[in-house]
Amino acid sequence: MGYNPNWDVDLREGEISEEAVKAGCSGTVEVKRQARALHFGSVFVEVQQRPRRGGAWKPSGLSTSTADHWAFQLGANGRDIMSTLWIATDELRGIVDELAYEQGYREPVHDDVQGRGVVVPLARLLVLDHDTAPRRAA
């Protein structure tokens, strides 16, 4: 929308945006700290875990989450959190299912983590309507 001198129109749009943010804040939230996500441009979403002594993989993380939303605290340098990205759990599950089909599950590079999951590009989290997502040239 271009310039509009009618402040009541801007006020109403602001109120609609505020209500949308408030609605996103209701319900339960699972918070994941990804202190280098902005450096790498992606987050890791765990879906399976195995006991430290080995054994069978079992559902965990997103697979067992009962939260309404996930919030990724994003950083670049491994220490400071610079932003938080919120997403509905159902939307995140859809993205993770698509990526798991495309790339399979991966294990993180940390020795102390016995989990499997999917590397999700931040851009994929920001564009939820995949019909309008930018396409690569063929």
- CA end-to-end distance (rounded Å), the chain: 33
* 24-66 pLDDT per residue, tens: 667 888 989 888 889 899 999 999 988 777 778 889 999 999 9
Distance CA 35, CA 80 (A): 7
What is the pairing mode between strands 42-49 and 29-34? Answer: unpaired
How much is the pLDDT for 98?
A: 94
In the chain, where the domains are located: 31-126
Q: Are 44 and 117 in contact (CB under 8 A)?
A: yes
* 77-95 pLDDT per residue, tens: 877 788 889 899 999 999 9
